[in-house]
Structure 1
Amino acid sequence: MSIKGDFTEFSLAEIIKYLQSSKKTGLLTLTDKTNHFFWVNKGYLVAASHRTDELGLYSLILELYLVRKRSLQRVIDSVYNDSLPLVIFLRENGFLSVKESRILFRFLGFR
């Protein structure tokens, strides 16, 4: 089911209340000059991004120079299988240190 509208029809608070109370799962897309994507699982916000290609974390790791692009791509292509979140997989397999993981999460706004 797809619902479309603008903030003249619904307030953001009304949309969030609806998603929570109905325990919806899906993707909420807000568009102004750019797109903003919010993934919701059973009414809970589980992720947010400005892109949907699943490469946001990959790009951020490269942007912060935490892992070399060639090494990161080789690991993803050969052994990464989505069984763990990428950052945890990289840390548990020695590609990111605990310190680098903390830097990444601080940059993302987690403390």
Structure 2
Amino acid sequence: MSRQFARNSNILKAKIDNVLPNLNVLEEYSECLGKVELRQKDLDEITVLLFERKEEYFLLRNRRLNEFMHGFNLISRKLKEMYQIWPPFVMASFLALSRRKRAGKRSGGEK
């Protein structure tokens, strides 16, 4: 067994001595690393722009909601004032007069 081990060891040493390193790999790695750094810078710029736009969107959305709620509250306040001004019997008589007239007698399913 030790003979076989020594033999395999000699074969592997011979293969290692015959192998030439590929130095082009280092150049390709540095080129790829440069490309990655450029793309990372682009990504960082776009990410910052995205967050700025999101913040602007949320500010505009909140402003729109606040303006709507201000108008809605103003309208509801005016309606409450109008309904408080009218006496209760005026509204009751208005509702009583505005009912539809029934055209003849019908059964419950045909109303």
TM-score normalized by the length of structure 2: 0.17
* Bigger share in helix: 2
Q: Which structure is larger by alpha-carbon Rg, 1 or 2? A: 2
* Bigger share in strand: 1
